[in-house]
Amino acid sequence: MSRRWILRLLAFGAALVLLAYGGASWKLFDLISRVDAHCGLADDGSPRFAAYTPAAFGTSGLPPKVAANVDIGAYAMPVYEDVAITSRDGLGLAAWWIPADRPDAPVVVMAHGAGSCRRDPVMLLPAGMLHRNGFAVLMVDLRNQGDSTVTDARFAGGTREYLDVLGAWDWLQSAQGLPASRIGLMGESLGASSAIIAMGEEPTVAAMWADSGFADLGVLFDGLIAGRGFPTWLRPGVIAWAKIIANDDLTARSPVDEVEKIGARPLAIVHGLADGLDVHHAKDLAAAHATFVPGYEPWLVPRALHLQAAFAAPAEYERRIVAFFRAGLGA
């Protein structure tokens, strides 16, 4: 066989390998990044938690034994308002403004996880815990989710969603006249990592409670890719497709790196020990924070599944989150 034919065969083989790599990484990108508006769909095809509001919500989607730990009616928030806010890059976002009895009360901005929304009971229960202890709450639907603007129906790992968190933080100062020192952030999963980035990028955010967030998007993707039975060396292809298709630079910001910008500001890291999202994310975030707060340790909740710590240990969760924000924002 001539040298020319050998080179042609090698080129053809290389093209097939690249095509296979591109196809597999595209499929993974599509699976991992896609999110549903309106909290996703229930088994019957209807939007999940469609009837849930701060005034009346239940425990749909939670294991019965977990739901039985909480008297959910004790956390109802009967006075609330639908508000429209704007992210820092101009997207329209839906939110609930739940005022406290005192107009000068501290406020917590709450951000949900991927494929979820403000109607999810895992969001509403911590909101109720804060509210019945005197805090006002602003619950926001992140872009592409809940009732907020849908741009491409994909999540960007917090690298864009943090602008939604900061848009809510801005709204509290402009529309409600609150000082930054009285506004905290609370996030779950994607919302937690987005809020960590927001706090790192905005030096006057006062305090942040991170429940089940991820420390590094690349490490998260490795786990998601391996969990679907694919090799982790497909990760660069997944990240490349995010840039090509959605113009999202998933390497632009990493929560664990943002902790260095947060410094010694109050940061609480919470994670369930039965969470499918590996607990090393919480440990990595805590180790970074311990650089500025020596001896800092995360709160690791026994037997708690992903985002279910507030249901698994409701009394302790309420005690801790209230004490944390009272210390960070003022009683």
Residue 3 in any domain: the answer is: no
Number of Cβ atoms within 10 Å of the Cβ of 29: 23
Residue 16 resides in a domain: no
Calpha distance 179→201 (Å, rounded): 18
Asked whether residue 223 is assigned to any structural domain, the reply reads no
Assigned domain for 100 exists: yes
- Token pair of 59, please? 């425990």
Residue with tokens 């820092």: 88
Contact 159, 143 (CB under 8 A): no
- Whether 242 is in a domain gets the answer no
What's the pTM value of the predicted model, to 2 decimals?
0.94
CATH number of residue 319's parent domain: 3.40.50.1820
Instruction: Specify the amino acid at residue 69.
Output: N
Is residue 6 domain-resident?
no
What are the pLDDT tens digits along the chain (331 aa)? 677 766 666 665 666 657 778 888 889 889 889 998 889 888 788 889 999 999 999 999 899 999 999 999 999 999 999 999 999 999 999 999 999 999 899 999 999 999 999 999 999 999 999 999 999 999 999 999 999 999 999 999 999 999 999 999 999 999 999 999 999 999 999 999 999 999 999 999 999 999 999 999 889 989 988 888 888 999 999 999 899 888 888 888 999 999 999 999 999 999 999 998 889 999 999 999 999 999 999 999 999 999 999 999 999 999 999 999 999 998 6
Q: Which domain holds residue 195?
A: 34-216+254-329
Q: Is the distance from CB of 187 to CB of 193 less than 8 angstroms?
A: yes
Count of structural domains, the chain: 1
- Is 171 a member of any domain? yes
Give one DSSP letter per residue of 82-115, joined into a string.
EEEEE-TTS-EEEEEEE--SSTT--EEEEE--TT
Q: Please report whether residue 258 resides in a domain.
A: yes
Closest by CA position to 189, among listed 168, 158, 234, 143: 158
Return the sign of the alpha-carbon dihedral for residues 259, 286, 62, 59.
Answer: negative
